[in-house]
Amino acid sequence: MAHSETELMLKGYGLTTAELFYRMPDYQSVLNSFIWQDYDLAPDYPRLFKFIAFWQEEIEGPLHSVRFSHRKMIAPGAWRNVVQEFNLH
């Protein structure tokens, strides 16, 4: 079942961005990069590590290094229900 981004953020997920550096299969001295983004749970990052495992099994370019950042956009306590709205003029 697919969840909306807001539902994921309310469940504690944050936006994880990873930059994967890999070697070109035919030119091992050439490094290339690939950007990956998804909502993931810190500190275990199951989706990121699943993608890295997929890369190592299915992609010919061997990984050189991975760097990533994680940002929680909202937390369950940051959400508030607005009951009234006032219109001026």
- pLDDT one-digit tens code per residue, 9-22: 888 899 999 999 99
**0.85 surpassed by pTM:** no
Q: Is the Cα dihedral 7, 12, 17, 21 positive or negative?
A: negative
Query: What are the tens digits of pLDDT across the range 1-11?
Result: 678 888 888 88
Residue-range domain boundaries for the chain: 5-74
The secondary structure of 56-73, three-state, reads HHHCCCCEEEEEEEEECC
- Helix (H) / strand (E) containing 47: helix 46-58
